[in-house]
Structure 1
Amino acid sequence: MKPDRKKLLERARNGEERALFNRALDLGEAVLTSGVTQLTGFYDPYRAGLIISLSKALPGLAATPAGGYKGAERVCLALHPVGVEPLWTDYDFALIAIKGNFERAGVKYRDVQGALMGLGLKREKFGDIRLSDGEAQVVTTGDVAPYVAANLNKVGRVRVVVEITTCEGLRPPEHPFKEIKATVSSLRLDSVAAACFSTSRSKIVRDIEAEQLSVNWQVCSDPATPVGEGDTISARGRGRAVVAGVKGPLKSGRMGVVINKYV
């Protein structure tokens, strides 16, 4: 029995999620018809969670995430019949090592991502980007890696050399952060984000309303969105921070927050 696609698509909150659900349902239906494992692209935790939830609504279908190494943030999902666990080789992971004088040129994560997308790759074609010691490591798949190796010769103004290797031995990277202790009037997104990114509340409200902020990888356009301990706040052009702790209300009536701002 085919799933009720129309009913499942009603879960989508917007056009982007609807397109994501349609792609996942196409793959899921192919699995249920053929019994052959299918792979999604690489997705952030929020979107990966949506696909896993959707898979549970299709009897006989399961979704198993992997990102090339333990603790990966971005993962692809193997959609497979229940009881038929995917093999590591099913994911066909490959690691791209992009080497250049990054430190001298001040190359950042977004520069590497931009260079890859400048080749015509969509964001879901590659997973985590790990940048350190003059090298960017990018998790992708065996069909994408040769294309990058053949076509990527610059990141920003820095000339690069690209090598293809395996993900074997990769460990979760360390994320250096700056601890910020602040007090806020409330645990609304606009108040906490202004403290996270050391800017005014009015400026951060404009960014939120322009849909430039995400909470736990979900875009938010409402400044009054509640946030709490453990939430990850990302702002386009400003970076990412985690609400590490909340205290209060204090005697002043304000809330105390401890923020880990990635540097």
Structure 2
Amino acid sequence: MLDKEFLLCHARNQEEKEMLARIYDLAQQVLRTRQPRVTDFLDPYHAGLVDMALKRVPDLAAGSDGGYPAAERVRVLIYPDYLEPREEDWQLAYLSLRGSFAEQELSHRDFLGALLSLGLRREKIGDILLHNDRAQLVVAAEVASFVQSQLTRVGSVPVTVEEISREQICPPPRRVREIKATVPSLRLDVVAAAGFGTSRTRMAREITAQRVSVNWQVCTELSRTVREGDIISARGRGRVQVTRVTGTTRSGRLALILHRYV
């Protein structure tokens, strides 16, 4: 018997409780039917939360897949622990979009906005991979044909959409800029300002406006202490990873190496 309260105890807020309640319902279906069930797309934080909640549940196993090895957004498959899951169980589809993207300098936000404007929920959209002459999408299989028939432009650029195979997915190399900085403390507003190259005052405003996340969870606490390995995301600015704290300067400031993904 699956203990609902055991699952929900892993939640830290109401949003997480609602998500884990949905996971509970899926897990109950798996135990009752002995057939796999798959979640919508989750970011790394929520996928990890689901994995943590399920890993000690008897008779169940869970695995994640986002279409390629380094995928950020993934669907989590919940299945009986005696089954060997198949690739098709994750119900993923792969689309290629072609258009004059380089000329218009379209961004990830432009593509996501075009998809959401069709009425799709974010949870049905996986990673969006941008190339010079095309973009590739990983989406839930149940919305693939809808995207093919309805997505005709991104911004002002006409697009053609075709379904491709998993083997054709080609993630672009990640561009990383190393930043060496010294900061008075590891407060979120301080480190984020250094990483994104802006003032602490401006970054504080963005944090309080719920535009900043730490490890994919919105954080409004300016004084939150960040640690090595943490990823800070700021809407419209990208991401910064706290790669290493290298020591303390003579003046008592902390020396950091940050990686900004551009």
Task: Give the TM-score normalised by structure 2.
Answer: 0.95
The 1:96/1:160 distance shift into structure 2, 3 A limit, reads: same
| Counterpart position of 2:25 | 26
2 CA distance for matches of 1:127 and 1:207?
26
* Counterpart residue number, 1:12: 11
Q: What is the aligned partner in structure 2 of residue 60 from structure 1?
A: 59
CA drift at 1:66: 0.8
Equivalent AA in structure 2 for residue 26 of structure 1: D
> Could you say what the CA RMSD is over the residues aligned between the two structures, in angstroms?
1.5
Deviation at 1:172, TM superposition (A): 4.6
Aligned partner of 1:122 in structure 2 is: 121
Superposed displacement of residue 62, structure 1 = 1.2
Give the AA of the match of 2:241: V
TM-score in terms of structure 1 length? 0.95
SS in 2 for 1:68: coil
How far residue 171 of structure 1 moved from its aligned partner, in angstroms, is 4.8
1:106 is matched with: 105
Aligned to 2:144: 145
What do the CA deviations read for 1:197-245 (whole angstroms, capped 9, x no partner)? 1111111112112221111111111111111222211001211111222
Number of the residue aligned with 1:213: 212
Counterpart in 1 of 2:255? 256
Q: Are 2:97 and 1:95 aligned? A: no
Name the CA distance, whole Å, in 2 between partners of 1:211 and 1:36. 39
CA distance in 2 between partners of 1:173 and 1:225 (Å) = 33
2:141 corresponds to which letter in structure 1? G
Within 2, Cα distance between the matches of 1:27 and 1:19?
13
Deviation string 1:118-148 (CA, Å, 9 cap, x unpaired) is 1111111021110011211011132211100
Structure 1 stretches of at least 4 aligned residues deviating more than 6 Å after TM superposition? none
- The answer for unaligned runs of 5 or more in structure 1 is none
Shift of 1:9: 2.1
Q: Which moved more, 1:87-96 or 1:38-47?
A: 87-96
Aligned letter for 1:217? W
Once the two structures are TM-superposed, the CA of residue 107 in structure 1 deviates from its matched residue by 0.3
Identify the residue that residue 190 of structure 1 maps to in structure 2: 189
> Which amino acid is the alignment partner of residue 177 of structure 2?
K
Distance in 2 between the 1:245 and 1:4 partners? 40
Residue type of the alignment partner of 1:78? L
Aligned residues: 262
Identity of aligned residues (%): 46
Per the alignment, in what secondary structure is the counterpart of residue 185 of structure 2?
coil
Tell me the distance in 1 between the aligned counterparts of 2:171 and 2:150.
28
Query: Counterpart amino acid of 1:134?
Result: D
Query: Within 5 Å, which residues of 2 pair with 1:235-254?
Result: 235-254=234-253
CA distance in structure 2 between the partners assigned to 1:92 and 1:28 by the alignment: 17
Give the structure 1 partner of residue 131 of structure 2.
132
* Separation (CA, whole Å) in 2 of partners of 1:77 and 1:178: 31
Supply the AA of the counterpart residue of 2:228.
E
Question: Aligned partners of 1:203, 1:158: CA distance in 2, in Å?
Answer: 33
Distance 1:241 1:23 in 2: 31
Q: Quick check: 221-230 or 30-39, which moved more?
A: 221-230
* Matching residue's letter, 2:220: S
The aligned amino acid for 1:141 is A
Give the 3-state SS of the residue equivalent to 1:228 in structure 2.
Answer: coil
1:164 pairs with 2:160: no
Query: 2:47 is aligned with what amino acid?
Result: A
SS at match of 2:109: helix
Question: Is 1:139–1:167's contact at 8 Å kept on the other side of the alignment?
Answer: no
Aligned AA (1:12): A
